[in-house]
A and B are shown apart, each in its own frame.
Chain A
Amino acid sequence: MSGGDRGVAWAFPRELFEEKGLRQVTVWTRGVVLIKEARDVVTALAGAAAREGKQSQAWENYVDLPDRINVPVKAYARISDRPIESRYIYENEAPDIVVVVEESLVKGNPILDGLRPGGTLVVNTRRRPEEIARFLTPGSGLGLLAVVDAAGIATTEKTLSGQEGASDASGIGGGWAAPLSGAVVRACGLVGLPSLEAVVKAPEAARIGYERTILLELA
């Protein structure tokens, strides 16, 4: 669809999300107890990208809110070198990078739905990547699996601060989010590690997460 067909000045890209240079991050987490970590991952990545002069967005899935304890919920980020045109599409339908904040979400949830071919999956787990790969849907086009023991590097931050768009008094990336974002940087170089360290509350945890990430090439 393009706006030109309707005789208006603006235009959507012909295929949604086919924008050149746009990369989408979907973060899966569990409601209430771990939602702060997902929100921090997308906020930290988007903030780090903004520091590098890129265009970025970070938000939570409105459909999943208000969340309930342990319910699978999502948070999203979009990062691009150019102005983001699909900015009013509220869900990432074709993510390039999927982050799983809690390992058991890989079971029974459509985490790889719509994944771009050769996409990346980052899981917070103490297990080997081969063990996680057993639970993934075959033929999903997953190119790289990265695991990091974020729970062993940091402790979770449980707060309602920053919930549903309120200002966050607890800071960004003080818990699992820092090592998880570090793992995303290591797996796909979405942003630079120095800019990530500059935006998170625990830069050391982000660096340790970056260093301890285990990568497994698939397909």
Chain B
Amino acid sequence: MSVVNHGGGAPAGSAGPGGQDRWKTPFAGDAEAPVGENERMITGGWRIVRPVVDTKACTNCLICWIYCPDACIVRFEEYVDVNYKYCKGCGICTRVCPVLCITDVPELDFAD
């Protein structure tokens, strides 16, 4: 794993007191977060309403992606979508979307 130096002072790789390892302190902002799905805790069934993204209207501002408490917003090149396997339908993304491209639709309006 590559680690970027955030310590200030001497640049990474320079021989300071304690040798080079001194600058290899991991920083959470740079470390890749593990991505996984828990097959034993599928929470899509908790949903009463389903957030539906109008992908044409989406500006990809990622505010919903920041706010989603369960990391259910999936990022694509030009828009976002929702991981319905785990989305609990809390409605936060619908509220925070600045261009109102997410709509809460009753779950029984969908056959799947």
Chain B at the A interface: SS class: mixed
Chain B residue numbers with a CB within 8 Å of A104 are 47-48, 106-108
Tell me, yes or no, whether B11 is within 8 Å of chain A by CB: no
Encode contact with A along B63-89: 1 for CB under 8 Å, 0 otherwise.
Answer: 000000000000000000000000011
Query: A64 CB to closest chain B CB, in angstroms?
Result: 13
Q: Are A134 and B111 in contact (CB under 8 A)?
A: yes
Instruction: Known contacts A104-B47, A109-B45; decide if A70 and B106 are in contact (CB<8 Å).
Output: no
Query: A71 CB to closest chain B CB, in angstroms?
Result: 6
| Distance A127 CA – B108 CA, assembled complex (angstroms) | 9
Q: Are A72 and B46 in contact (CB under 8 A)?
A: yes
Q: Are B88 and A70 in contact (CB under 8 A)?
A: yes
Most buried by B among A71, A104, A131, A132: A104
Q: Are A135 and B108 in contact (CB under 8 A)?
A: yes
The chain A residue with its CB closest to the CB of B106 is A104
Q: Are A70 and B89 in contact (CB under 8 A)?
A: yes
Chain B residue numbers with a CB within 8 Å of A109 are 45
**Hey, which bits of chain A sit against chain B, CB under 8 A?**
30, 70-72, 102-104, 106-109, 125, 127, 131-132, 134-135
